[in-house]
C-alpha cells in the first residue's frame, strides 16, 4: 500500500511570497498524482492532475512538477485566497490515499 | 452544470447502519466512475470507495471492507453508500465525488458534493 507524506506540515508566508509544497510517495506512482486545495467548510478542489497539469479554471500561478516518488506544488505570488490546506492524492494503485496535508497560513 | 448532492447523514449508535445517497445531475452519470471520500472533523481526507460507471467494479479502503457497500442506480443518476456495523471512527463528513478520465491512464475527482455529516456516537 502506497503511503504519501507531505512537508512541511505548516507554511507561514505573506501575500506575494512563493510557496513550495512537497509530497513524497513510499513507492513510485509514476505521474498519477493530483493536488487539491481545501478551505474551511468547503470540499477539496482539484488544482493539478497528472503531477503537472492544471485543472480547468485554475490560475497559472499554480504549478506542479515531479514524477515517481517526489512531487512539488508551487504557488507563485500568493494571493489572499490561496491560504488554505493542500493535499496530494495518488491515483496509481488502490487504495487511493491522500497525503496528510500542508497548511499554508498567513505570516 | 455538474451537481452532486449528498443526503442521508445523521447520528447513529455504534453498530448501527446508515445509507448515504448522492443525486447527480448535469453530466452523463453512467459514463463516470464515482467515489466516496470522507473527512473526520479536523482530520485528513480519506478515500473510501469507488465504483465503475456500469457498476461492474468496486474498490474499498481496508478499514471499511465488509462493512460498507457502494452501489449506483444509473437510471436514477444516484450513488449510494450502505454503511453497516458503524464505528465511532467512521464519524466524518462524507463527500460524493465524480472521477474523470484525463486521457493519461488515470482518473481524478474533479467535482465534489457539499458533503453529509455522519456521527457515530452512543
Q: What is the pLDDT of residues B44-84, one digit of tens each?
A: 899 999 999 999 999 999 999 999 999 999 999 999 999 99
Cα separations in angstroms, A54 against A33, A70, B12: 12, 18, 40
Residue A8: band (very low, low, confident or very high) from pLDDT cuts 50, 70, 90: very high
By Cβ distance, the residue of B46, B108, B114 closest to A98 is B46
- Looking at residue B45, its pLDDT comes to 93
What is the pLDDT, as a whole number, of residue B105? 77
Task: Write the residue in B102, B110, B115 that is nearest to A50 by C-beta.
Answer: B102
- The span from the CA of A44 to the CA of A38, in Å, is 4
Interface probe, candidates A29, A64, A96, chain B, greatest B C-beta count within 10 A: A96
Pairing of strands B107-112, B92-101: antiparallel
| Residue-level pLDDT at B49 | 96
A95 pLDDT higher than 90: no
Q: Are B6 and B116 in contact (CB under 8 A)?
A: yes
Nearest neighbour of B112 by CB, restricted to A34, A44, A50: A44
* Contact status of A87 with chain B (Cβ, < 8 Å): yes
Round the average pLDDT of chain B to a whole number and report it.
Answer: 96
A88 to chain B: closest CA residue? B45
Please state, for a pLDDT cut of 90, what percent of chain B lies above it: 93
**Residue recorded with cell 459514463:** B31
| CB B13, CB B88: distance < 8 Å | no
Position A34 scores a pLDDT of 97
Report residue A101 as a C-alpha cell: 496535508
Q: What pLDDT is attached to residue B32?
A: 97
Q: Are B39 and A39 in contact (CB under 8 A)?
A: no
Cell readout for A32 is 498519477
Q: How far apart are CA B59 and CA B34, in angstroms?
A: 11
Q: What pLDDT is recorded for position A26?
A: 97
Percent of chain B residues topping a pLDDT of 70: 100
What is chain A's mean pLDDT, rounded?
96
pLDDT, position B44:
87
> Predicted confidence band at B102 (pLDDT cuts at 50, 70, 90)?
confident
pLDDT beyond 80 at B103: no
Residues of chain A contacting residue B50, judged by C-beta atoms under 8 Å apart: 96
CA B46, CA B38: separation in Å to the nearest integer? 5
A79 pLDDT higher than 90: yes
- Do B54 and B30 touch, CB atoms closer than 8 A? yes
- Interfacial A residues in 16-45 facing B (CB < 8 Å): 31-32, 34, 36, 38, 43-45
Q: Does A3 score more than 90 pLDDT?
A: yes
Pairing of strands B78-83, B107-112: unpaired
Does the beta-carbon distance from B45 to A87 stay under 8 Å? Answer: yes
Cα separation, A90 vs A97, whole angstroms: 6
Return the pLDDT at A43.
96
CA distance readout (Å), A98 to A46, B44, B63? 13, 8, 15
Amino acid at each position: 500500500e502506497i503511503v504519501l507524506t507531505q512537508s512541511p506540515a505548516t507554511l507561514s508566508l505573506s501575500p506575494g511570497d512563493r510557496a513550495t509544497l512537497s509530497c513524497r510517495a513510499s513507492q513510485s506512482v509514476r505521474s498519477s498524482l493530483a493536488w487539491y486545495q481545501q478551505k474551511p467548510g468547503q470540499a477539496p478542489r482539484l488544482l493539478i492532475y497528472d503531477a503537472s497539469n492544471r485543472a480547468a479554471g485554475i490560475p497559472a500561478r499554480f504549478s506542479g512538477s515531479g514524477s515517481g516518488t517526489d512531487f512539488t506544488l508551487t504557488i507563485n505570488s500568493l494571493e489572499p485566497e490561496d491560504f488554505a490546506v493542500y493535499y496530494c492524492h495518488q491515483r496509481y494503485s488502490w487504495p487511493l490515499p491522500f497525503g496528510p496535508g500542508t497548511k499554508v497560513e498567513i505570516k | 452544470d455538474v451537481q452532486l448532492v449528498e443526503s442521508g447523514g445523521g447520528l447513529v449508535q455504534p453498530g448501527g447502519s446508515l445509507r448515504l445517497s448522492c443525486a447527480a445531475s448535469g453530466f452523463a452519470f453512467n459514463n463516470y466512475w464515482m467515489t466516496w471520500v470522507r473527512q473526520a472533523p479536523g482530520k485528513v481526507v480519506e478515500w473510501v470507495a469507488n465504483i465503475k460507471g456500469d457498476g461492474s467494479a468496486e474498490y474499498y479502503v481496508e478499514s471499511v471492507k465488509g462493512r460498507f457497500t457502494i452501489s449506483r442506480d444509473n437510471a436514477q443518476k444516484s450513488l449510494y453508500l450502505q454503511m453497516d456495523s458503524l464505528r465511532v471512527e467512521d464519524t466524518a463528513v462524507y463527500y460524493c465525488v465524480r472521477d474523470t478520465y484525463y486521457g493519461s491512464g488515470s482518473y481524478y475527482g474533479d467535482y465534489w458534493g457539499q458533503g453529509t455529516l455522519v456521527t457515530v456516537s452512543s
